Amino acid sequence: MSDFWSACLSQFERELPAQQFNTWIKALRCEDEEESPRRLRVLAPNRFVLQWVRERYMNKIETLSREFYGEPVDVSLGLCEALKTDPADSENEVAAEAAPVDMRAAKQSTNRLPISSSSNHLGDPSYDKTRLNPDFTFDTLVTGRANDLARAAAQQVAINPGTSYNPLFVYGGVGLGKTHLIHAIGNAVLMNNPKAKVSYIHAEHYVSDVVRAYQQRSFDAFKNHYRNLDLLLIDDIQFFNGKGRTQEEFFYAFNALVEAKKQIIITCDTYPKDIQGLEDRLISRFDWGLTVQIEPPELEMRVAIIKKKAEASRINVSDDVAFLIAKNLRSNVRELEGALNRVLAFARFHGREINVEVAKEALKDVIGASNRQLTLDLIQKTVADYYKIKVSDMYSHKRTRAIARPRQIAMWLTRELTPHSLPEIGEAFGGRDHTTVMHACRTVVDLRSKDGILNNDLHVLTQTLKG
């Protein structure tokens, strides 16, 4: 280590609280790049630390280096090279091909955190008590721009529970993977220390626990349970809205845990200041630690997620299929997963290979392409617009070809796309007899086989109507 860097480290160690020093500064490496002009490169173990250091400590490092060398120094920040080029991690490359998804943070976790797998916990009652889902690990979490900061922060917490940031507050929209992330922390902590007392609880259940404790006058047991934990994961804290007694209990549990340097991790659908119906003293405490956001995944990340989930089921899904699914379900990961499961189930049942055709077919169930409720009026209007005639011509008595043909087409479409009976259709088209409708249908069927333009019109109209 260079003299400068030791001096720099000891300076930070003096100025910063031990927790912050250990989390942010200690893991940094420094390389002398050139003597003249003097250039230094500071390397961070992951993107999260990198960003944090850039925002908060970079000026200080620059000032210290200028003072140390007595000349202007060009200090740059980067990621550890070792993390960038590790050939062992081939899945990164798979994902990187599909998407600019950053897996470096993930790699760090695999280097330092044991991998948890569901089979490790089978039939383990003490694990069941944690209410953790063994499938939710850092390993199965796809990282992209939308969640890499949150992930890096979560990994820091998993490595140093209770000492890096307390509480860790994760917020983001519905179905973006907040729960997955905090389960991953719980699983990682348990793998590091199987004796750790970890508990995952959804806020709704916490509320019912308080109610039960209230009814059974068992607050002592309740308090004991929560205050003896090493790691409390509490999901969807927005459900505390307006529940005074719950908030009070949580406030005391929170204080006790933080004081004992036990880790608390909270998720919410919004950032602390914006939570409705929560006491200020709680909200201000949520800001004590670190607040990170998870954003909706962009297309490439959704593709990576699909591939990862399929991989977990040991099934290979090609890029075009993954893109098809990802394009159709944009807003959250949960529905993405539902769609993928549907495609896999469909292919399995019909014994077919998973390709774009199969995926399209299966996705019909998920998306409901032909679901618009079609009414007679809608069909008449659509056809009239298409042929640039008046809607009233649909039920007028004019019989010129330019009007009669569209009318026949509308009748045929109604017959095909709605459950109306022939007499009902006739009635709706100016009180015509049901035999007229039958004739119209026959004419259209007959003509479409000979007339390419008409056939195309029918195709377009059907598509338009089905939406």
Partner 1 sequence: MALSADPPKCLIQGRLQSARILPEMTAPNSPVRRQLLLKLRPEGAPTLDNFVVGSNDEMLARLRTIGGTDQLYLWGEPGCGRSHLLTAIARSGGDRPVVSVSASDVHDDIDVVTGSILIVDDVDRLSPSGQGALFRAFISARQNGVALLLSGPLPPLQLALREDLRTRIGQMLIFEIRGLSDDQKAEALRHYAEQRGLPMDDAVVRYLLLHGRRDLPSLLTTVDRLDEISLAQQRPPTLPLLRELLTETRQSLANTETKGIL
Residue 367 near partner 1 by CB under 8 A: yes
User: Which x/- pattern, by CB under 8 A, does the window 48-87 give for partner 1?
Assistant: ----------------------------------------
DSSP bridge partners of 42: 30, 77
Alpha helices in 70-166 (DSSP H): 81-84, 90-98, 104-112, 125-130, 148-159
Please state the closest distance from residue 332 (CB atom) to partner 1, in A: 5
Angle between helices 203-215 and 244-259 (to 10 degrees): 100
User: Which x/- pattern, by CB under 8 A, does the window 169-198 give for partner 1?
Assistant: ----xxx-----------------------
The nearer residue to partner 1, 131 or 439, going by C-beta atoms, is 131
Angle between helices 333-350 and 299-312 (to 10 degrees): 50
Among the listed residues 350, 398, 459, 466, the single contact to partner 1 using CB under 8 A = 350
The nearer residue to partner 1, 133 or 318, going by C-beta atoms, is 133
Residue 225 near partner 1 by CB under 8 A: no
The nearer residue to partner 1, 100 or 423, going by C-beta atoms, is 423
Please state the closest distance from residue 297 (CB atom) to partner 1, in A: 14
The nearer residue to partner 1, 104 or 420, going by C-beta atoms, is 420
Q: Tell me how far the alpha carbon of residue 204 is from its chain's centroid.
A: 21
Residue 366 near partner 1 by CB under 8 A: yes
The nearer residue to partner 1, 65 or 332, going by C-beta atoms, is 332
| CA pair distance 150, 139, nearest whole angstrom | 15
Please state the closest distance from residue 79 (CB atom) to partner 1, in A: 34
The nearer residue to partner 1, 82 or 174, going by C-beta atoms, is 174
Residue 342 near partner 1 by CB under 8 A: yes
Residue 315 near partner 1 by CB under 8 A: no
Residue 131 near partner 1 by CB under 8 A: yes
Total residues at interface with partner 1 (CB under 8 A): 38
Q: 167: cis peptide before it, omega within 30°?
A: yes
Alpha helices in 102-243 (DSSP H): 104-112, 125-130, 148-159, 178-192, 203-215, 219-227
Neighbours of 357 (CB within 10 A): 11
User: Which x/- pattern, by CB under 8 A, does the window 230-249 give for partner 1?
Assistant: ------x-------------
| Beta-sheet pairing, 29-34 with 39-44 | antiparallel
Smallest Cα–Cα separation from 378: which of 340, 444, 428, 434? 428
Piece in contact with partner 1 (CB under 8 A), picked from 61-69, 151-159, 185-193, 331-339: 331-339
| Beta-sheet pairing, 39-44 with 231-235 | unpaired
Residue 308 near partner 1 by CB under 8 A: no
Piece in contact with partner 1 (CB under 8 A), picked from 20-28, 41-49, 361-369, 386-394: 361-369
Cα dihedral angle (118, 123, 125, 127), rounded to 10 degrees?
Answer: -10
Piece in contact with partner 1 (CB under 8 A), picked from 158-166, 211-219, 337-345, 377-385: 337-345
Smallest Cα–Cα separation from 170: which of 283, 281, 274, 286? 286
Please state the closest distance from residue 290 (CB atom) to partner 1, in A: 24
- Tell me the CB-side half-sphere exposure of residue 404, using CA atoms within 13 A: 11
Q: Which residue has the tokens 């694990």?
A: 127
User: Which x/- pattern, by CB under 8 A, does the window 256-275 give for partner 1?
Assistant: -------------x------
Piece in contact with partner 1 (CB under 8 A), picked from 38-46, 318-326, 416-424, 450-458: 416-424
Read off φ and ψ for residue 198, nearest 5 degrees: -115, 140
Q: What is the largest CA-CA distance in the chain?
A: 100
Residue 352 near partner 1 by CB under 8 A: no
Give me the long-range contacts of 65-68 (CB less than 8 A, separation at least 24). 65/4, 65/8, 65/38, 65/40, 68/3, 68/4, 68/7, 68/8
According to DSSP, residue 115 is labeled P
Piece in contact with partner 1 (CB under 8 A), picked from 6-14, 28-36, 310-318, 345-353: 345-353
DSSP 3-state percent helix, strand, coil across the chain (nearest 5):
60, 10, 30
Among the listed residues 72, 194, 242, 368, the single contact to partner 1 using CB under 8 A = 368
Please state the closest distance from residue 391 (CB atom) to partner 1, in A: 19
> How would DSSP label each residue in 180-199?
HHHHHHHHHHHHH-TT--EE
Piece in contact with partner 1 (CB under 8 A), picked from 50-58, 299-307, 314-322, 415-423: 415-423
Among the listed residues 365, 377, 433, 451, the single contact to partner 1 using CB under 8 A = 365
Residue 346 near partner 1 by CB under 8 A: yes
Which residues form the interface with partner 1 (CB under 8 A)?
Answer: 131, 133, 173-175, 202, 204-205, 236, 269, 329, 332, 334-335, 337-339, 341-342, 345-346, 349-350, 364-368, 371, 373, 419-424, 434, 438
